[in-house]
Chains A and B, each alone.
Chain A
């Protein structure tokens, strides 16, 4: 089984400042990596994913994440956050032969005006 660690449970950041949400996973086997976002009283929305190819993946709303195999990390970054980015962010891992996600415990991002 995979273990996913999101080191920061809460991250407050001022509007227009950069942010990094950290995610590390345990496995040394080939994996797929995902970031999901959850707004209050809603389900999970896929932000971005890494399946193969370029280690840097981007979302349509300015987030990016980089797969680092040697450090088993998949940190999420955004150069300038907006109020609307306030939400809970979950990192998820799946073995590429598997069919289930292993989720981290989530990071609550609060953007301060």
Chain B
């Protein structure tokens, strides 16, 4: 059974650009969550999608957005990149909505903004 797949693994962008990260959940999983991991702030919740609907959103500016497709794949977009957006972005998937179902994390996309 394939795990959670995040693409690309590494990305370098310039300030002011925008970026799209992709997450393919485990087959059959309908919930996808995104987290940002930085040395200074640690792991912070971005948003969660279930059956194409955003159920919850963390405390991030509107430059951060996401969506989920009918096949449960998810993308997150960051517009007008800032140096502080450099981070490891982790996607996690679960069969149901709610952490009690158990989330499986991907290996992440490491974004570097220069």
Residues of A within 8 A of B (CB): 32, 34, 36, 41-46, 49, 51, 90, 92, 94, 96, 98-106
B45 interfacial by beta-carbon distance below 8 Å: yes
Residues of B within 8 A of A103 (CB): 35, 42-44
Contact between A41 and B107, CB atoms less than 8 A apart = yes
Q: Decide if A99 touches B105 in the complex (CB within 8 Å).
A: no
Total cross-chain contacts (CB, 8 A): 58
Cα distance, A30 to B33, chains bound together (Å): 22
Per DSSP, chain B at the interface is: strand
Contact B102 A46 (CB under 8 A): yes
* Number of chain B residues whose Cβ lies closer than 8 Å to a Cβ of chain A: 26
Closest Cβ neighbor of A39 among chain B residues: B107
- The contact sample of 17 A-B pairs, CB cut-off 8 A, is A34-B99, A41-B107, A42-B107, A43-B107, A44-B92, A46-B102, A46-B104, A49-B102, A96-B100, A99-B31, A99-B98, A100-B45, A100-B58, A101-B43, A101-B45, A101-B99, A104-B42
Looking at the assembled complex, report how far the CB atom of B108 sits from the nearest CB atom of chain A, in whole angstroms.
5
A100 is contacted by which of B42, B48, B108 (Cβ under 8 Å)? B48
The 3 residue pairs across chains A and B that have the minimum distance between CB atoms: A103-B43, A43-B105, A44-B105
Provide the residues of chain B in CB contact with A46, threshold 8 Å: 102-104
- The docked-state distance in angstroms from the alpha carbon of A44 to that of B35 is 11
